[in-house]
Amino acid sequence: MSKLDPAPSMASDFETVDQRLQSFLGQLLSEFGILDRIVYKNKNQHRRCSYFQYLLKVRRDIRLLKSANPEEIFRSSFDVINGKRPKQKVQLLESLKRKKSDSSNKQTFLDRLLGLARLLSQMVEPILKAATQHLYFRVGSYAILSGVGNTEPAKGMSLSQKL
């Protein structure tokens, strides 16, 4: 075993984490499809509601996430960590030590990974706010509906008794 190869138990742990990340990413993309359809269908009706504004922010962030190509970033990082590409691992470690030149517009691997993590952390707040705002809206509408439901039968009974 060379210095660059991880221990066998660590390799299986990395494979498990890699598989879980890939499955979570697949679930996220399928749920994005559902969210995109919901937003598209209800855009005109709910566009001024605060929870819908948060949903629009989440939709925008997920589109940015898709454009960052997280599958490729995760695959590359786990290939390097597992030792499938040991030469790239050495190059990666050396490139992390060096400063990035300001003249190049190409993003380094570390910059892409940090940007992906930053985007995911920024998505948490709008998701939670949309969920709580929509929850309060739903509770209020149920209270109103139950109040209307309680008064309707009484009116109906009084009218039927008069006839």
What is the residue-averaged pLDDT of the chain?
A: 73
Give the tokens for residue 75. Answer: 């695959």
Banded pLDDT at 139 (limits 50, 70, 90) = low
* pLDDT tens digits, 6-28: 555 666 787 888 888 889 888 98
Tell me the whole-structure pTM to 2 decimals.
0.59
Cα–Cα distance for residue pair 35/77, rounded to 1 Å: 29
pLDDT beyond 60 at 92: yes
Q: What amino acid occupies position 148?
A: V
pLDDT beyond 80 at 147: no
Tell me the DSSP string of 46-79.
HTTSHHHHHHHHHHHHHHHHHHT-HHHHHHHHHH
pLDDT beyond 50 at 86: yes
**158 CB contacts (<8 Å, ≥6 apart)?**
none
Q: What is the model's pLDDT at position 124?
A: 84
* pLDDT tens digits, 28-49: 889 889 989 988 888 888 878 8
Short-list 124, 133, 132, CA closest to 61? 124
Q: What is the model's pLDDT at position 117?
A: 87
Cα–Cα distance for residue pair 22/28, rounded to 1 Å: 10
Buried/exposed 99-115: b ≥16 CB within 10 Å, e otherwise: eeeeeeeeeebeebbee
Banded pLDDT at 116 (limits 50, 70, 90) = confident
Q: What is the model's pLDDT at position 106?
A: 63
The residue among 127 and 37 whose pLDDT is bigger is 37
Banded pLDDT at 79 (limits 50, 70, 90) = confident
Mean pLDDT of 106-133: 80
Give the tokens for residue 135. Answer: 């929850």
